[in-house]
């Protein structure tokens, strides 16, 4: 009796592990497309429902590394069509957004928060902020190891100066990060489905 119970528990754990692996694969498959990542990122910072047109404007601007005002009608139309016909229905099916095709409105669902960690929107030539902070942390660790070993030239400054430098480095990075996010979202968080500021 005890053996069958442990076998059942082991089987349940294997099934749960298999489901988790499948979920992770689904996430990567869903977010492998850059346009979907851009759309999810825009919706994750939006303050309420957004029209497909406004979403297409923002995504097209990011794809062409420009402002909403500078995108062409052709660029906008191409993004609008693919969002409406392909990407938004798929995101709706995954329960990340609520897409009302008749009204032309899309709303982020609560499930979108689960994917925030994957939505670090960067260009092809850029490093993600998570990668940047990891690198900064490793450099900081290396500096402190060299300071503790009292190796030249790390003995030229007191430990307090190195600590202050690290604090300033992280503070400066955080300020730039906040500015970058605000510039990237371009005030999109204030857009609503009717196109008026929130």
Domain ranges of the chain: 33-121, 129-178
How confident is residue 73, by pLDDT bands cut at 50, 70 and 90? Answer: very high
pTM for this structure? 0.53
Residue 106's H or E segment, with its range, is strand 105-108
- Mean pLDDT for 32-56 is 87
Task: Express each pLDDT in 110-148 by its tens digit.
Answer: 777 666 555 554 444 445 667 778 888 888 898 888 888
Q: What contacts 154, CB < 8 A, 6 or more positions away?
A: 143, 146, 147, 162
- The per-residue pLDDT for 76 is 94
Average pLDDT score over the chain: 76
Cα gap 41→31, rounded to integer Å: 11
Percent share of the chain, pLDDT over 90: 20
Task: Domain 33-121: give its CATH code.
Answer: 1.10.10.2260
């Amino acid at each position: 009796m005890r053996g069958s119970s442990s076998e059942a528990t082991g089987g349940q754990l294997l099934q749960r592990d298999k489901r988790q692996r499948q979920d992770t694969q689904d996430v990567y498959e869903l977010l492998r497309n850059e346009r979907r990542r851009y759309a999810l990122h825009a919706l994750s910072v939006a303050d309420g429902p957004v029209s497909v047109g406004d979403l297409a404007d923002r995504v097209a601007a990011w794809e062409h590394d420009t402002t909403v005002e500078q995108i062409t009608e052709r660029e906008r139309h191409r993004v609008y069509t693919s969002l409406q016909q392909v990407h938004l229905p798929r995101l709706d099916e995954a329960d990340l957004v609520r897409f009302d095709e008749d009204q032309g409105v899309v709303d982020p669902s609560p499930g979108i928060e689960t994917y925030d960690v994957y939505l670090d929107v960067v260009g092809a030539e850029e490093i993600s902020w998570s990668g940047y902070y990891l690198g900064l942390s490793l450099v900081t660790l290396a500096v402190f190891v060299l300071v503790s070993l009292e190796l030249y030239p790390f003995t030229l400054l007191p430990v307090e100066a190195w600590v202050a430098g690290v604090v300033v480095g992280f503070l400066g990075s955080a300020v730039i990060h906040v500015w970058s996010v605000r510039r990237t979202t371009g005030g999109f968080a204030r857009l609503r489905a009717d196109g008026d500021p929130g």
